[in-house]
Amino acid sequence: MRCRAYLLRFSALILASGPSLMATGEEALKKPNILMICLDDLNDWTGCLGGHPEVKTPNIDRLAERGRNFTNAHCVVPVCSASRVSIMSGLHATTHGSYEFGPSYQSLPALREAPCLQAWFKSHGYRTFAGGKVLHHGFQGPLKEAIDVDLGPSGGPRRKTGINWPGGPWDWGAYPEKDEQMPDYQLAQKTATLLKQKQDRPFFISVGIFRPHVPLLVPPRWFDLYDRETLTLPMAPKSDLSDLPPNLRGKINVEPVHEEVVRRKKWRDLVQAYLASVSFADHCVGTILEGLDNGPHAKDTIVVLWSDHGFHLGEKHQWAKRTLWEESTRVPFLFAGPGIEPGPCREAVSLLDLYPTLTELCDLPAPKRLDGLSLTPQLRNPREPRSRPVVISSFEGNHAIRTRDWRLIRYADGARELYDHRKDPDEFTNLASGPTDEKTWQSLAKWLPKKPAPEFRKKK
């Protein structure tokens, strides 16, 4: 009966139209726990997003099946630090001014008064645990207070010399021998052990797995899942580049450039290594979820899983992140737990929506400013439209607008791109390269940021 009471109460939290319907008395003091799993540089190459036909992610897929799978979710900025700062502050780059890899949360003046997600939950009675890469720079300085218990690092063992790409950050290979030698897996096991213990007050666990971030080094059994010779390479026709604005050339490439990967005949190796790293990360997710499912908090914990941004593996002849195209901005974003009905949602949503969604699900007040929208309407009804589209920014002055069906990009120099996802999910045909349907363009362009914050630069 107690379990049933929990379920009813959590369903009420999600389904109620206002606080008047919330449970009262002792029941109101009980809050759902949060288990937040974040992955690093994981694009849509999961079974539940269908980004690669051979990828094996059984654990993430199982979580997607039992919860709400936001299949059209996007980051705020497609690079680690700025993406994570935005998620954890609930504020857009156009508010805090971090559009590229760089400033820590605490160094941004606009965030001085903005409580990070974990600090907010802690100040409302939660015990907070965090391990691995959650904020890119960690919970340092004034943010240290946000975390009660440190669960340790993530990643893999470091190597002094490269295996396959000496001298570059892009190494890959079957290393080390066993999962147990990977701090990512050790962190997953530690989290699973924690989840098997009874907690006496609500908890918020943040756990950040580092793979599939480079270097793509994972144990051999993950490489063995994929046949290098027959695996599917991304579609990257040279003709796709002909309708792109010229401003892109050379500006957003990071090492390695696509031509170099092809020339050195390393495309297949890198795709295999990324797939292997994704499956290893999925195994870490499975280890954590096994802990939750076999512990005392399986029924009173909301699980949320996301990746900080996407990743190119040759699409549009690009590698890695930082572009404003689908492969760089689209991410897995899943909610599961008591009262959350299973099924996909195709509305365009932002990782910025995490903060207001979690505060509402847990019946906490919200900080005075959050730029995202609570997704509780879409958790109730997956066809409910989000009231405004998603805005993604990369480098100062460049922005994308993503709706259910469209992507608009406008660069700082005025260059334009427009893609119709109903007909062109790979964004091959830039409808803004010639005469553009102004009505469609304007209906999307009106959402472009009017007065974005200037880029924050540290005084020298």
Catalytic residues: 80, 136
Stretch that binds Ca ion, among 33-41, 51-59, 63-71, 227-235 (CB under 5 A): 33-41
Report if residue 315 touches Ca ion, rule: CB under 5 A. Answer: no
Report if residue 326 touches Ca ion, rule: CB under 5 A. Answer: no
* 54, 148, 240, 405: which one binds Ca ion (CB under 5 A): 240
Q: Which helix (H) or strand (E) holds 307?
A: strand 301-307
Residue with smaller CB distance to Ca ion, 68 or 410: 410
Residue 7, Cβ density class (10 Å: 0-12 exposed, 13-18 middle, ≥19 buried): middle
User: Phi/psi at 324 (nearest 5 deg)?
Assistant: -100, 20
* 100, 308, 327, 353: which one binds Ca ion (CB under 5 A): 308
Residue 454 C-beta: closest distance to Ca ion, Å: 24
Q: What is the three-state SS of 55-118?
A: CCCHHHHHHHHHCEEECCEECCCCCHHHHHHHHHHCCCHHHHCCCCCCCCHHHCHHHCCCCCHH
Closest CA to 283 of 365, 186, 374, 196: 186
User: Phi/psi at 21 (nearest 5 deg)?
Assistant: -90, 0
Stretch that binds Ca ion, among 40-48, 188-196, 261-269, 417-425 (CB under 5 A): 40-48
* 61, 145, 243, 396: which one binds Ca ion (CB under 5 A): 243
Stretch that binds Ca ion, among 127-135, 223-231, 235-243, 338-346 (CB under 5 A): 235-243
| Interface with Ca ion: number of residues (CB under 5 A) | 7
Q: Rg for the chain (alpha carbons), in Å?
A: 21
Residue 22 C-beta: closest distance to Ca ion, Å: 37
Residue 244 C-beta: closest distance to Ca ion, Å: 6
Residue 308 C-beta: closest distance to Ca ion, Å: 4
Rounded to whole angstroms, the Cα distance separating 352 from 96 reads: 13
Residue 153 C-beta: closest distance to Ca ion, Å: 16
Report if residue 80 touches Ca ion, rule: CB under 5 A. Answer: yes
Amino acid identity, position 73: A
Residue number of the CB atom closest to Ca ion = 80
* 10, 36, 40, 214: which one binds Ca ion (CB under 5 A): 40
Residue with smaller CB distance to Ca ion, 56 or 133: 133
Beta bridge partners of 74: 330, 350
Q: Which of residues 129-148 bind Ca ion (CB under 5 A)?
A: none
Cα end-to-end span (Å), the chain: 62
Residue with smaller CB distance to Ca ion, 134 or 361: 134
Residue with smaller CB distance to Ca ion, 428 or 441: 428
Q: Write the binding mask 259 to 298 for Ca ion: x where contact by CB under 5 A, - elsewhere.
A: ----------------------------------------
How many whole angstroms from its chain centre is CA 436?
Answer: 32
Residue with smaller CB distance to Ca ion, 40 or 347: 40
Closest CA to 338 of 68, 93, 60, 108: 68
Residue 344 C-beta: closest distance to Ca ion, Å: 24
Q: Which two tokens mark 262?
A: 């092809």
Residue with smaller CB distance to Ca ion, 39 or 292: 39
| Helix, coil or strand: residue 419 | strand
Q: Write the binding mask 408 to 427 for Ca ion: x where contact by CB under 5 A, - elsewhere.
A: --------------------
C-alpha distances (whole Å) from 18 to each of 13, 23, 134, 369, 459 are 9, 11, 32, 20, 46
Closest CA to 387 of 356, 410, 423: 356
Residue 266 C-beta: closest distance to Ca ion, Å: 21
Prior bond of 377 cis (ω within 30°): no
Rounded to whole angstroms, the Cα distance separating 362 from 359 reads: 5
Residue 42 C-beta: closest distance to Ca ion, Å: 8
Residue with smaller CB distance to Ca ion, 273 or 345: 273
* 34, 37, 41, 431: which one binds Ca ion (CB under 5 A): 41
Residue with smaller CB distance to Ca ion, 41 or 315: 41
DSSP, residue by residue, 132-183: ESSSTT-S-GGGGGG-SEE----S----SS-SSSTTSS--EEE-SSSGGG-H
Using CB under 5 A, list all residues that contact Ca ion. 40-41, 80, 240, 243, 308, 428
